[in-house]
Amino acid sequence: MSPGIGPSGTPPRRGQSARWRGALDLLRLVRREPGITRTAAARALRLSSGSATDIAARLRDLDLVEESPVTPTGRGRPTTALGAHPAGPVVVAVDIRHEDYEVAVVDLAGTVVRTERDRHPGDDPGWLLGRLRTSLDRIRRRYRHRLRAVSIAAAGTISHGRFVQASTLNWYDIDLDALQPRRTRLPMLVGNDATLAGVAEARRHGSRTTLYLTVEVGVGGILVDEGAPVTGATGAGGEFGHLPFGDPALACPCGAYGCWDLDVDGRAMARYRGDPPPRDPRSYAGTTIGLAAGDPDAAAAVERCATALGRGIAGLVNALDPDSVVLGGLAGPVRRLAEPALTASYTSGLMAFRRAAPPPLRTAVLGDRASILGAADVAFDAFLTDAGLTDWANR
Ligand SMILES: [Zn+2]
C-alpha cells in the first residue's frame, strides 16, 4: 500500500492519551450528530450511563459542550441533548470561488454562526487577500481564544499547502500565509475546494470509499477513504478533470491537451452548440441546462456532456474502486436531464466484472455549502486531538 492511500479514520483517529480518552470520542460524536442525547451517545460509544454523564459534565465545565434537558419519552430516564457550548471553540472556514468568496465562523456542531460573502475581481488575487486579511483580523478580535484554526477551500490546485495554480482565473503561486494574524499563529489548513466538498459529502453519505466528482468549470473531485481525502504526495491529487479523456486536439488552460474538463462543462456545451467560448462557462452551462427542455440543440449539448461524464466516471471507477460515486455541482442537473445517456456510457465503460453491481451514482446533498463545511470538518479534525484539547484546557 503506497503512502497516503491507507484508511485514515472518520475523522482520522490519532493516539489518545488517558487524559482525553472518552472525551475526544464524545466530542467527535457530537460533531457528527449534533443534538444527540447523552443516553444515545453512551450507547454509541459503549459507555456506562455514569461514565457518559461524567464525561459530558467535564466537557461542559470546559465550555466544550452544552447540555440541554430533553423531556423523556415513555419510561426512559431523564437525559440531555449535547450541542456546541455558546462559549466553545470555533473555526474560520474560507471558500474562495471563481467569482466570489465566503468567510464563515463555524462551531463544534457545524452551525455557521457568522458569515460574510462578497464578489471579487477575478484578475486581482492581491485585492482578495487584502479583504480576507481584514475579515480574519476582525474575527480574531471578536472570538479571541475561541478561534482555533483557519481552513481555506480554494478553487485551484493546492500543493505542499500552497495555492499553486488556478488555471481558469489565471492565478499562479498565491502565498496564503499572508493571511496569518499578526501576533498569534493559528493552525492554517488549505485545500482544494472540490477535495473539501468531497470530504463533507462523503462523511454525510456514510459510504466507506467515495468517489466525489463535481462539475463547475471543468471537473473537480477526490477519492475519500474512511473520511480522509486521498490527496497524494504533495496534496495536489484529485485533478480528475485533467485526465486525457477528451479530444487530444483541444488545448486546456492547465497546459495539457485533451483534458476531460473541456468535454463536460459550459465550454463543451458552447462548442457543441456552435457558440464562441463563453466568458463565464458556469452560467453558460446553467442557461443551456435551463433551455434543454424546449430546445433540441441545447438538449443535445447536455446529452453529449452527460455521455462524456459517464465515460470518465467509468474509467475512474475501474481505476479507484469506490463503493459509491457522489455527483455535485452541474453533474446533478446534467444527470437528471440526460440520465439514459449518462447511464449507458457509465455502464459500457465499466470492466465486465463490475457491471453486475456497479457503484451507485448518488447526488450531492450539501449544494454550494459543501466546500465550506468540508473546510470546517478538517479544521475540527485538527482541533479534536490530545494536543488541541490540552491547549484549550490551558487557555
Ligand atoms: Zn487540463
pLDDT tens per residue, range 12-41? 455 567 789 899 999 999 999 999 999 999
**3-state class (DSSP) for residue 12:** coil
- Whether residue 182 is predicted with pLDDT greater than 70 in this model: the reply is no
Neighbours of ion ligand 1 (CB under 5 A): 242, 252, 254, 256, 259
| Distances from the Cα of 167 to the Cα of 131, 155, 178, 291, 332, angstroms | 22, 9, 21, 28, 24
**What's the Rg (C-alpha) of the chain?**
22
Identify the pLDDT of residue 165.
77
- How close is the Cα of 15 to the center of ligand 1, in Å? 40
- How close is the Cα of 261 to the center of ligand 1, in Å? 6
- How close is the Cα of 172 to the center of ligand 1, in Å? 15
- How close is the Cα of 251 to the center of ligand 1, in Å? 8
Identify the pLDDT of residue 15.
53
- How close is the Cα of 254 to the center of ligand 1, in Å? 4
- How close is the Cα of 266 to the center of ligand 1, in Å? 15
- Whether residue 233 is predicted with pLDDT greater than 80 in this model: the reply is yes
Contact 105, 113 (CB under 8 A): yes
How does the average pLDDT of the chain come out, rounded?
90
- How close is the Cα of 14 to the center of ligand 1, in Å? 36
> How far, in Å, CA of 110 to CA of 93, rounded?
11
**Least confident range of 11-15, 79-83, 101-105:** 11-15
- How close is the Cα of 207 to the center of ligand 1, in Å? 29
- How close is the Cα of 129 to the center of ligand 1, in Å? 26
- How close is the Cα of 165 to the center of ligand 1, in Å? 11
The model's confidence at residue 115, banded by pLDDT at 50, 70 and 90, is very high
Q: What CATH number labels 18-84?
A: 1.10.10.10
**Least confident range of 9-18, 209-218, 231-240:** 9-18
Question: Fold match between 90-196+373-393 and 207-369?
Answer: yes
**3-state class (DSSP) for residue 351:** coil
What's the average model confidence in pLDDT over 353-369? 94
Identify the pLDDT of residue 297.
96
> How far, in Å, CA of 374 to CA of 389, rounded?
21
Identify the pLDDT of residue 98.
82
- Whether residue 205 is predicted with pLDDT greater than 60 in this model: the reply is yes
For residue range 129-174, what is the model confidence (pLDDT) as tens digits? 899 999 999 999 999 999 999 999 998 888 887 888 776 677 778 8
- How close is the Cα of 252 to the center of ligand 1, in Å? 4
The model's confidence at residue 125, banded by pLDDT at 50, 70 and 90, is confident
User: Left, alpha or beta for 160 (phi > 0: left; psi -120 to 50: alpha)?
Assistant: left
10 Å CB burial of residue 331 (0-12, 13-18, 19+) is buried
Identify the pLDDT of residue 4.
28
* Higher-pLDDT residue of 64, 76: 64
The CATH number of domain 207-369 is 1.10.620.20: no
The model's confidence at residue 123, banded by pLDDT at 50, 70 and 90, is confident
* Higher-pLDDT residue of 213, 4: 213
Residues β-bridged to residue 69: 80
- How close is the Cα of 312 to the center of ligand 1, in Å? 14
> How far, in Å, CA of 111 to CA of 104, rounded?
10
- How close is the Cα of 111 to the center of ligand 1, in Å? 36
The arrangement of secondary structure in 90-196+373-393, i.e. its CATH architecture, is 2-Layer Sandwich (3.30)
Identify the pLDDT of residue 181.
67
> How far, in Å, CA of 303 to CA of 337, rounded?
8
- How close is the Cα of 141 to the center of ligand 1, in Å? 41
What's the average model confidence in pLDDT over 373-387? 95
Contact 311, 245 (CB under 8 A): yes
> How far, in Å, CA of 105 to CA of 393, rounded?
21
What's the average model confidence in pLDDT over 338-345? 97
- How close is the Cα of 281 to the center of ligand 1, in Å? 15
Domain range list for the chain: 18-84, 90-196+373-393, 207-369
- Whether residue 276 is predicted with pLDDT greater than 90 in this model: the reply is yes
- How close is the Cα of 201 to the center of ligand 1, in Å? 25
Identify the pLDDT of residue 159.
83
Percent of the chain whose predicted confidence (pLDDT) is above 70: 93
User: Left, alpha or beta for 9 (phi > 0: left; psi -120 to 50: alpha)?
Assistant: left
- How close is the Cα of 241 to the center of ligand 1, in Å? 6
> How far, in Å, CA of 198 to CA of 156, rounded?
15
End-to-end CA distance of the chain: 40
- How close is the Cα of 278 to the center of ligand 1, in Å? 17
